[in-house]
Amino acid sequence: MTGLNKRLFITGASGLLGRAVLKKFVSDGWVVYGTAFSRASEGLHELDLINKDDVKEAVKQFKPSFVIHCAAQRFPEKVDSDPSAATKINVEATKYLAQVSDELGAPVLYISTDYVFDGTSPPYDVDAVPNPLNLYGKTKLQGEQETLAANKGNIVLRVPVLYGPVEYLAESAVTVLLNPLLNTDKPCKISNYERRCPSHVDDISTICFQLATKRIQDATVCGIFHWCGKQVFTKYEIVQQIAQVFQLTHLSHINPDSNKPSSAATPRPYDTTLNRSRLENLGIGQHTQFEVGIKTALQAWVK
């Protein structure tokens, strides 16, 4: 991509996905302005996305050619416990960032979630009607609508549950499943009910990169896109996969729970498998085999 203005403004660059996206664009020679909030460390810029004046100042000073918006409150239980704070970051900050970016002519790629669907009729096409079951999914759907309202040329990329190198095991709903395998003295139940298609963050960062480079050259590459991993697992099946990869043979204390979770818990969709064909038809996509991706993600955690 010679001759193109390669300046990326990325929010949530301290997060699970943002770290991988930042690395991918830097490795291709982009000038990257990565923002963080509580985890602003060397190389990242501390920015509270709820503060409109600071957001405007940062974006206008940097003059991005492309914006990727990863920042969010993405833990459904935390959204339920403070809906007002979650709405501020997931909806209001998204709206403002998209408007400021539009004023500068920079397309926005908004990272969304498979949780915009109710999970009753997979696989979901990009034009399937969303019906989020929990407040997290609702705020992310509103974020999508604000992104596309600011400019129809923006992009929404819906992704499934993510895994990759983590700063702590519970950072990913996949890597946290190593814990029951390490705590062999604690009998536990693991859900064998809901079905998920996990993606490695390096796959999603590659897809963001492919989408950004295409969008900068072709304004018709816009609207909603879907990606998810090609392997389907329940949580219990993920535990089995991890056990196999690391030869952790002690599994008898872990019991698969095939019941639908109780209605008291934050509801989650049953099966949100996404149809990847709109991206695949553009020649975009990457799938790391789960056994390979989980080995590199977790090997530092298994003694």
Q: CA angle, 203 as apex, 197 and 219 as ends, to 5°?
A: 110
- Residue 10's contacts (CB-CB under 8 Å, 6 or more residues apart) are 18, 21, 22, 25, 32, 33, 34, 35, 67, 68, 69, 70
Binding ligand NAP (rule: CB under 6 A), the pick from 8, 32, 59, 89 is 89
Q: Is 50 in the site for ligand NAP (CB under 6 A)?
A: yes
Stretch that binds ligand NAP, among 44-52, 57-65, 125-133, 183-191 (CB under 6 A): 44-52
Q: Which residues contact 81 (CB under 8 A, 6 or more apart)?
A: none
DSSP string of 177-244, one letter each residue: GGHHHH-TTS-EEEE-SSBB--EEHHHHHHHHHHHHHHHHH-TTS-EEEE---S--B-HHHHHHHHHH
Q: Does 56 bind ligand NAP (CB under 6 A)?
A: no
Q: Is 15 in the site for ligand NAP (CB under 6 A)?
A: yes
Judged by CB under 6 A, the residue of 31, 128, 173, 182 near ligand NAP is 173
Residue 124 annotated among the catalytic residues of the structure: no
Q: Does 259 bind ligand NAP (CB under 6 A)?
A: no
Of the listed 110, 136, 163, 236, which one is catalytic?
136
Residue 32 in contact with ligand NAP, rule: CB under 6 A: no
CB 23 within 8 A of CB 11: no
Which segment (39-47, 178-186, 244-252, 270-278) binds ligand NAP by CB under 6 A? 39-47
The contact set with ligand NAP (CB under 6 A) reads 11-12, 14-18, 36-40, 47-50, 70-72, 74, 89, 111, 113, 140, 159, 161-162, 173
As annotated, the active-site residues are 136
